[in-house]
Structure 1
Amino acid sequence: MKYYVVLLSVLIERTWSTNDAPQQLKFPPWFKFGAATAAHQIEGAWNVSDKTPSVWDVFSHEKPSRIGDGSNGDVACDSYHLWREDIEMVTHLGLHFYRFSISWPRLLPSGFPDRISSAGRRYYSELIDGLLAAGVEPVVTVYHWDLPQSLQDLGGWTNPLVVDWFADYARVVFSLFADRVKTWITINEPLVFCDGAYTMGVYAPGVLSPDIGKYLCNRHALLAHAKAWRIYDQEFRDRYRGKISLANTITWYEPADGETDDVAEIVRQYGGGIFSHPIFSKKGGWPPVIAKMIAENSRRQGYPKSRLPPFTEKEIKFIRGTYDFYALNYYTSRVVRRARPGETIDAWPFFGAPELNVSLTVRPEWKKAPPSWFYINPVGIRHQIRWLKEQYGDVEVLIAENGYASHDPTAHDMDRVQFYKDHLEQVLLSIYEDGVNVTGFTAWSLMDNYEWMDGYVPKFGLFAVDFNDQRTRSPRTSASYYAAIIREHALIEPPEYLSVTQNATNTNTSYNSLILSFVLIVYFIK
């Protein structure tokens, strides 16, 4: 049956490709499209060969109640064994690039470079070579949350030595793969793995230390990124001419009715500025408004100095400028207002709300996706991109993640189609009306996978994965739509017969195409 679904997918793509997009809906010639995954979320094979446990292996095994469905990533999508099928999906979509991450404990079983796993090295090398043979650029994330548990036992991201541990690991990765990989992301979403772990305890390693731990993690993640960037810059760039940055997930914040923009800007500086200002601003260091607020809060709480550890002048210079582009992950938005006296502030899903004494809400017109934190506001991605330009100048922006989660495993995912259409429209407006240098878009995710604390319940995939069998991958309608956009290099309307609004004025052409698709499927089944 899988092949009949693929046939229908191809026929739908052919129908979409007949659209003639106006010039303003064309993407610039240099614009690239990709899709993304992460090692722990898809690879499985958690204890195969000499791989050692990551913090997520231990967290999900020892505390299954912290995972929405009690599951773990032991098998996940089994991409460690099925990577060739992953490449088939990538080529089916016609992607220009595929973003994936390397598992630190798979490549370096001890966490240190004393021994490189031959099995881990072979796996990633074969994946990279397979992508290149298919004409697809590998975009590699060095760290996507799977810290070796052996290093967590030594303090993990709260230990200042983690800066050197990460740098040593990154050097190994570059030495093995930089000859074939030209785009790198050092660290993915430090806001989440620092604040989510230490503020809420909902992410591995689940150590609650909201006052101290999360800010140590913040500081060390920035220094680790900077050290890895400088290693690449000094030791590998001249030979391989690649680009490297880190990826930040940023929620767009706007003021509630009756509030000034000042309160929203403070939240933006926390949510986006903490991991941007030290790298991308001209002065470097923590965002001044955030450093001042945390210092004042710390004094009121009885601490002798700020809980946000300051950078030395040498460290400020070391971190500043360590980028070649801005990698932005965008999903959702919030409305900000000042907290009322005596109001209880919830740290979820914005971990800094108690620190900033703000309350977050949403606008009633924002449609909710199934995950508790996910409200859809497509224009938010344009606002966020424009904010980055206002803050940091004409930096190149790569949208490194954007996608929609549902709880529906079926193939006909028109909500996801609409989500991508609406967000890509805002990306085009960012390029043509706001003059932002956006050079690429990455769909999250290539396929359904293990979504951390939510387990396998949210379905983000362009391809569905049947986790009850042999991890069979099947294209959804959104895969066909995304493939058509890539092929036409333009934003095109879904055919009327697949419209979310089910417009009654369907064209005969679209209707006949759908009938033809099903007739052919019936013919092949017979």
Structure 2
Amino acid sequence: MKVALVLSVIALGCSALVTKQERRFPDDFLFGTATASYQIEGGWNADDKGENIWDHMTHNHPNVIKDGSNGDVAADTYHNYKRDVEMMRELGLDAYRFSLSWSRILPDGLSNPVSAAGIAFYNNYIDEMLKYGITPMVTLYHWDLPQKLQDLGGFANPLFPDWFEEYARVVYDNFGDRVKHWITFNEPREICLEGYGSTTKAPILNATGIGSYLCAKYLVLAHAKAYHLYNNEYKSSQGGECGITISVNWFGPLTDTEEDRFAAEIRRQAEWGLYAEPIFSEQGGFPKEFTERVAQKSAEQGYRSSRLPEFTEEEKQFVRGASDFFGVNHYTAYLISATEHITQNVVPSLYDDVGVGVYVPEEWPQSASSWLTESPDSILNVLNHLNQKYNNPKFYITENGWSSPPSSGLIDDDRIRYYRAALENCLDAIDAGVRLQGYMAWSLMDNFEWMEGLTERFGLYHVDFEDPLRPRTARKSAFVYKEIIKTRVIDHSYEPATMTMTIDEGR
């Protein structure tokens, strides 16, 4: 009996292991990669393209970029888009998420004039994808505001929602017959907190504690305008969907105490709740507890009203529910404390308003990016939390990736480990009932990595930035990702037999 019992336990254990190994992604699950216009396109002044805030900043303040580089050429997708699509075919992608350059389409930011050359470039790019059965997922705005609009106040101008709606209309008119997945904004936190409330993203306004909150309100309203425009005037004929992408890193409590749990919640509200809560929550408006904290801090600092502007009831109703899906960009996690690891912040600022401590365990593997570590089950924690908080919306992972130094070469086992762990979490989330519809790996290829220039590489494909032709070469992670897409299974023992990339039949 004892022997039989042991054998039964072993058999059950083996069965469970096989079942876990054989978990499959659904056949209609969209596997893709993601990029951003300024990071890859180059052609910064090609044809009649207008100047954007990254052009302006890198040309006038090149010292803010770690290695003094810029996106003038980047990966030169403007001239290499057919090679980009060839790489998508080599990987066997279902979808490709990319962004449009507002100033390439509308050189002055407003709809007069519209650039025929800019429209032609994106038409060619989209048509080349569709030619090979690759679904375009298009982001309207990924951080590169036309400089002429920034000169008028950018996201802090109450007219910004109208400017964005005008831009969105031009885009829907020109590409909506073929594009069925629209994302209005990529990562509002990075736009508002880092661009307007700090100096870590263009336009480096550093209007701490005020600019980031003005930006948050008008960005959310602009998203809702673009969503309702699509929903009311285009959806019935074009048949697509429109959502928003928010960066949602995980913030968990350092200890299992009420104080640390509340501290983690306040940090979540400040980091991404400012943008998600008005759209996805039942009550609408900015997050309650964080709103109260900013109001209290503002009063203590002598302000006559809160630095965080309110939504009117009409605005709350207009914004609430204005999204067909929740796009999640996820990379890492942090542990939050109410009493420990607290650092001094600028007053006023969002982080001073939050007033909590942040800790990252030393044992979490570190990438080439100071902010990016591999943290256990972080995607699963995020998806489960959002799913419960916002009543089971449709999700896409619209970015997830790992950085390596330029010297790392083509063998990137650390990136492979990270992707496999993340995708296991995606399967865990699907098993738990989360409506996760797709996963876009960041990134298809190495690119200009914002303030870090060319010192960090996220690509499945290596780009030789020293060569004027910008040749692309597949890393080992590209072959592993290709196998996952092909089989819909994560095989942790898989090793590519060759490092020569080919296009499978049908692609």
Letter in 1 for 2:428: L
| Aligned-partner residue type, residue 154 of structure 1 | L
Among 439, 442, 450, which residue is 2:440 paired with? 442
Q: Match of 1:310?
A: 310
AA paired with 2:237? R
Q: Deviations over 1:256-311 (max 9, x none)?
A: 13643121111112222111110001111111111111111110010011100000
1:83 to 81, 84, 103: 81
Alignment of 1:416-435 (within 5 A): 416-432=415-431, 434-435=432-433
Aligned residue runs from structure 1 range 121-520, under 5 A: 121-257=119-255, 259-260=257-258, 261-339=261-339, 344-346=343-345, 352-407=350-405, 408-432=407-431, 434-469=432-467, 470-495=469-494, 517=498
Give SS of 1:400's match. Answer: strand
3-state SS of 1:376 partner = coil
Aligned partners of 1:322 and 1:303: how far apart in 2?
A: 32
Distance 1:378 1:139, change over 3 A: farther
Deviation at 1:214, TM superposition (A): 0.7
Residue type at the aligned position of 2:267 = V
- Specify whether residues 275 and 24 from structure 1 end up closer, same or farther in structure 2 by C-alpha distance, changes over 3 A only: farther
Q: CA deviation at 1:402?
A: 0.2
Match of 2:117 among 116, 119, 126: 119
Residues of 1 paired with 2:322 and 2:48: CA distance? 34
Partners of 2:243 and 2:381 lie apart in 1 by 21
Deviation of 1:30 (Å) = 2.2
CA–CA separation in structure 1 for the residues paired with 2:345 and 2:304: 26
Q: Distance in 2 between matches of 1:246 and 1:518?
A: 36
Matched residue of 2:383: which SS?
Answer: helix
**Partner in structure 2 of residue 503 of structure 1:** none
Structure 1: distance between partners of 2:157 and 2:471? 41
Q: What is the CA-CA distance between 1:378 and the residue it aligns to?
A: 4.1
> 1:370: Cα distance to partner?
1.4
Closer, same or farther: CA 24–306 of 1 in aligned 2, 3 Å = farther
Q: Contact 1:105 / 1:147 at 8 angstroms: preserved in 2?
A: yes
1:30-109 equivalence runs, <5 A: 30-109=28-107
Aligned CA distance change for structure 1 residues 518 and 83 (closer, same or farther; 3 Å)? closer
AA aligned opposite 2:334: R
Question: How many angstroms does 1:345 deviate by?
Answer: 3.0
Structure 2 residue matching 1:459: 3-state secondary structure: coil
Q: Deviations over 1:140-178 (max 9, x none)?
A: 000001100000011111111111001100110001000
What is the SS of the residue equivalent to 1:145?
Answer: coil
The amino acid that maps onto 2:270 is Y
CA contact (8 A) 2:474 2:499 kept: no
After superposing on structure 2, the runs of 4+ consecutive aligned residues of structure 1 that deviate more than 4 Å are 20-24
The alpha-carbon deviation at position 339 of structure 1 amounts to 4.4
Structure 1: distance between partners of 2:135 and 2:20: 28
Aligned sequence identity (%): 42
Shift of 1:21: 7.9
- What's the secondary structure of 1:207's corresponding residue? coil
RMSD: 1.7
Aligned to 1:15: none
Q: Which residue matches 2:13?
A: none
Note the alpha carbon deviations across 1:393-428, whole angstroms, 9 max, x for none. 111110000000010441111111111001000111
Is contact 2:197-2:210 (8 Å) kept? no
Distance 2:129 2:340 in 1: 54
What do residues 437-473 of structure 1 show as CA deviations (whole Å, max 9, x unaligned)?
Answer: 1110000000000010110111100000000002000
Aligned counterpart, 2:25: 27
Separation in 1, partners of 2:490, 2:149: 45
Q: For 1:315 and 1:306, locate their aligned partners in 2 and report how far apart those are by CA, in whole Å.
A: 18
Asked if 2 retains the 8 angstrom alpha-carbon contact of 1:21 and 1:491, the reply is no
Counterpart residue number, 1:507:
none
Give the unaligned 5+ runs of structure 1. Answer: 1-19, 499-512, 520-526
Which sits farther off after the overlay, 235-244 or 404-413?
404-413
How far does the alpha carbon of each residue in 1:21-71 deviate from its partner, in whole angstroms, 9 at most, with x for none?
867521122211010001000000001100011000011111111111111
Q: For the residues of structure 2 that align with 1:402 and 1:223, how far apart are their CA atoms? A: 27
